[in-house]
Chain A
Amino acid sequence: MSHIATRKPSPLRRFWMRSQGTLLPVITFLLVLLLWEICVKVFSIPEFLLPAPSAIWVATAEQAGLVWGHTLATLRTVVLGYGLSILISLPLAFALTSSRIVANAVYPLLILTQSIPKVALAPILVIALGANELPRIIITFLVAFFPLVVAITTGLLSVPGDLIELGRSYRATRLQQMVQIRMPYAIPFIFSGLKTAVALAVVGAVVGEFVTSDRGLGYLIQTSTAFFRMPLAFGAMLVLSLMGIVLFQIVAVAEKLLFPWSSQQQAD
């Protein structure tokens, strides 16, 4: 028999313990906004240097339809470029891991593509491919695909020798080894690559829009700043970061739903 008194925490305390992981960052963010607002008001900072959060909100809300249109345009580039990087990374990583010759032949080239600054490449691509959506998608793809290839390759190669031996002891074919052992083992690695890549895809799309576009949030930022409409530029920037966060979370949630064991493993 135990005589140690266990006090039940109050409902408020329990709510706090359960949700502080999500509540704390939100509160911090709101405090930063408040501080920002106060600073702008107290030091009367001119709007073209740093607009107050309230001004950003008003300007963005007034142009909600316009901002939404540009958001959809950027989202389209991000999704297409990201999709292309997945389509190319997966088979490329399989080829890299299944043949030493392919690895030796292609890997240095991959690193070369990464050493080229994408901003420098963008204008060249525009001349080569025309002033349309394609160069923007290619830039997005180039920015996003490398970390993805590296993550998938690392995952496929880090399968423990024990598991490979297990497969061999039951005479698994190379294909079975790939599909039944290597690929599932690499899932957590693949998803960590997918998360990095989706954040980078947003960066890539905006770089593309800076160089050539007549639509998109990058374009909106450029035109707004050209006319010193700083609140709208800031609004577009915040929408961009929001887009990055939402896309990242979609990938994270997809992992949790499709491969529950994978996200558990990363938490360890």
Chain B
Amino acid sequence: MTAITIDKATKVFSSRDGEEVVALSDVSLDIGENEFISLVGPSGCGKSTLLRLIGGLLPLNGGRILIDGTEVKGPQVKTGFVFQKATLLEWKTILENVLFPLKIMGSLDAKSRDKARELLALAGLDGFENKYPGELSGGMQQRAGICRALMHDPDILLMDEPFGALDALTREDMSIELLRIWREQPKTIVFVTHSISEAVLLSDRVVVMSPRPGEVKQILDIPLPRPRSFAVQKDARFQDKVDEIRQLITGK
């Protein structure tokens, strides 16, 4: 089943002095249901732009994007967005932050709190429900951000370098954690990252993009067995894929 169809998507930004920059040019890609797909590439290749187009946060200049056969015209209920920074509301407790999407959508009900608590427990945050974001570490804040994106039970999770602001150790933990959450709550995940090894560790497929204009250079299958752990990095195939992607990006 195809969850997301990207058909010749084109996005042009015009800078303040009227100059036009083609961020994405004729990008086509099909993403399957409950697939974990990563977008990698150098800065300016349009991977974050593509993510925002799928999320309906930006309008397209050409082509179209379909989610379950329906054209994306704006932000929709089927997608949840995780940003690079946790973007928690500092004046709300962790629990209230996780409930925020439902509050905005006007669909808070009696069961919402229990569900939020379950999600927080799933992300290893039980006991922190009534803390404020400022009292949590960066990694814990980002976990809460992920819980928030899962709260309205979207079919698709769009993640924009979600671990980019974390230190290396926390980052590794978080990717394994994310795989565990994904196993328990299967979703289609589109994951933007700068880290090639992170992309290989997590994904079913890795989309390598190239800049100016942003295009899909190549799509690679990652045939590593699941469930995966750090041990998978010792697998020769893991290293092969990392090297292959690095070559595609740097051209060396």
Contacts and interface: CB of A to CB of B under 8 A. Distances in A.
Interface string A243-268: 00000000000000001011011000
A6 to B, nearest CB: 27
B92 to A, nearest CB: 8
Nearest to A162: B87
A170 B104 contact: yes
Nearest to A184: B91
B46 interface: no
A187 B134 contact: no
Interface size of B as a range = 20 to 34
Contact of A170 (B75, B83, B90, B132): B75
Contacts of A160: 87
A259 B132 CA distance: 12
A264 B104 contact: no
Contact of B105 (A166, A170, A181): A170
A264 B134 CA distance: 9
Interface size of A as a range = 20 to 34
B103 A162 contact: no
Contact of B104 (A165, A167, A187, A261): A167
Interface string A160-198: 101101111111100010001100110100000000000
Instruction: Report which residue of B83, B87, B91, B134 has the largest number of chain A beta carbons within 10 angstroms of its beta carbon.
Output: B91
A265 B85 contact: no
B164 interface: no
B57 A176 contact: no
Contact of B81 (A169, A172, A262): A169
Contacts of A163: 87, 89
A265 B89 contact: no
Interface in B56-113: 57, 74-76, 79-81, 83-85, 87, 89-91, 100-101, 103-105
A261 B89 CA distance: 11
A181 B103 CA distance: 12
A172 B81 CA distance: 14
Main secondary structure of the interface of B (DSSP, over half): loop
B90 A166 contact: no
B55 interface: yes
B64 to A, nearest CB: 20
A166 B91 CA distance: 15
Nearest to A173: B104
Nearest to A165: B57
Nearest to A163: B87
B105 A171 contact: yes
Given A162-B83, A168-B75, A169-B57, A265 B90 contact: yes
A1 B75 CA distance: 58
A167 B80 CA distance: 12
Contacts of A262: 91
Contacts of A162: 83-85, 87
A180 B83 contact: no
A94 to B, nearest CB: 18
Interface string A118-132: 000000000000000
A165 B105 contact: no
Contact of A169 (B55, B89, B90, B132): B55
Nearest to A172: B104
Nearest to B102: A170
Given A184-B91, A259-B91, A171 B74 contact: yes
Given A168-B75, A169-B81, A170-B105, A261 B132 contact: yes
A266 to B, nearest CB: 12
A165 B75 CA distance: 10
A183 to B, nearest CB: 10
Given A171-B104, A171-B105, A172-B104, A166 B134 contact: no
Interface string B95-139: 000001101110000000000000000000000000010100000
Nearest to B86: A162
17 contacts: A162-B85, A163-B89, A165-B81, A165-B83, A166-B83, A167-B104, A168-B75, A169-B55, A170-B152, A171-B75, A176-B104, A180-B89, A181-B89, A184-B91, A185-B89, A185-B91, A264-B134
CB-CB nearest 10 A-B residue pairs: A170-B104, A169-B81, A162-B87, A184-B91, A170-B101, A172-B104, A169-B75, A171-B75, A166-B87, A261-B91
Interface of A: 160, 162-163, 165-172, 176, 180-181, 184-185, 187, 259, 261-262, 264-265
